[in-house]
Amino acid sequence: MAFESKIRPITWENGKSKMLDQTVIPYEYKYVEITSGDEMFNAIRNMIVRGAPAIGIGGAQGIVLYAQEGANKFSNVADFKSWLLEKADYMATSRPTAVNLMWACDEQKKVINNSVSDIQGLIKELTDKAIDIELDDINRCKAMGDYGAEVVPKGARILTHCNAGALATGGYGTALGVVRSAFAKDNTVQVFADETRPRQQGARLTTFELAMDGIPVTLITDGMCSYFMKKGMIDMVVVGADRIAANGDTANKIGTYTVAIAAKYHNIPFYVAAPLSTIDISIATGDEIPIEERAREEVTHINGKIICSDKVNVINPGFDVTPHDLIAGIITEKGILRPDYNKSIAEVFNRS
Ligand code: MRU
């Protein structure tokens, strides 16, 4: 059962990408138009659009934008295609950790390689694929939500980290998709949202979208999670994912690993919710997942104001990897995968 969100963070309109600027929420709620491939590359890199599935949609749209630009430069389809394949590879490097971006760029590369159309025909095929990836994501998240809702106890207090909601996807959410579907069945469930330093996606985005949809949410700072777990105030944890290895090791926003350890210690089930496009079966373990290093200012500043000595050393990894043995289940659009993940992940890919 779906509890729709009003948010559509990224859509395709009149030959352009229309995206919600997530860098200004909650102060402003404004859409920006992205009209070129390079603008899309920067919008992804600078997190105007963010969240693994949403940047996948952005990448797919960015390749359409490059194709529209290239149409004026080439008359020969073969030259156009090889130029566009290079642009697709470039788009896939706009952020390194979330594999949905590489997956969506690969989907567009398949369209380019398989097309027998002329240049305008190929642009239409790429546009259709980008729209399909966006709409398909919403359906996958709803399916995930319904599977996930089955393991949410009545009246559950669900802890989440970062934002894995409508804002991070086509418009329903992975972890928050589970919350939405659970809330549709039982409106006594509630969310505890970690603030998620340094970019504060939990405070700025998760509380924003849940409050907008009338789902009860309590904001806590990152260090508080074990305090509330010990007090018996958290029944389960559900987070999203940026990349899952073949053995179930899961990269998600920095701080997720700490939450998983605390959950294990307190016997609280820790779930990951992610579409199959987040699972990278080409890598055996989480050690192979590239971790994005972000700017020092994200740590040294809050709202443009420095909060420490300007001489301090800073290291700012954007993600960490939660080992598979801390994960009770991986909620996908094909059902909930359980340990042994090497087996359950291989099986679901063989069926798909
Ligand atoms: O750096 P971000 O904001 O793009 O990181 C987002 C996350 O880590 C999300 O939890 C993850 O992408 C899952 S989104 C459905």
Q: What single string gives the DSSP state of each residue in 126-168?
A: HHHHHHHHHHHHHHHHHHHHHHHHTTSPTT-EEEE-S--BGGG
Query: CATH code at 42?
Result: 1.20.120.420
Instruction: Judge whether 213 lies within some domain.
Output: yes
Query: CATH code at 271?
Result: 3.40.50.10470
Instruction: Judge whether 205 lies within some domain.
Output: yes
pLDDT at 6: 85
Q: Domain containing 182: what range?
A: 144-351
Q: Among 121, 141, 161, give the residue marking a domain's end.
A: 141
Q: Does residue 194 contact residue 226 with C-beta atoms inside 8 Å?
A: no
Q: Backbone phi, then psi, for 33, in 5-degree steps?
A: -100, 135
Q: Which of 131, 108, 110 is nearest to 14 (CA)?
A: 131
As given in the structure block, the two tokens for residue 123 are 């642009």
pLDDT at 3: 81
167, burial (CB in 10 Å: exposed 0-12, middle 13-18, buried 19+): buried
Catalytic annotation, pick one of 194, 242, 249, 320:
242
pLDDT at 83: 98
Verify that 222 and 296 share a domain, yes or no: yes
Residues 6+ apart with CB under 8 A from 69: 36, 37
Q: Among 78, 110, 141, give the residue marking a domain's end.
A: 141
pLDDT at 4: 84
Distance (angstroms) between ligand 1 centre and the Cα of 300 equals 21
Verify that 57 and 205 share a domain, yes or no: no
pTM: 0.96
Distances (CA, A) of 79 to 71, 86, 112, 124, 164: 11, 11, 12, 18, 39
Verify that 270 and 151 share a domain, yes or no: yes
Distance (angstroms) between ligand 1 centre and the Cα of 155 equals 26
Residues of the chain below pLDDT 70: 1
Domains contained in the chain, number: 2
pLDDT at 37: 98
Determine whether 146 is an active site residue. Answer: no
Q: Backbone phi, then psi, for 339, in 5-degree steps?
A: -60, 150
Q: Among 116, 141, 166, give the residue marking a domain's end.
A: 141
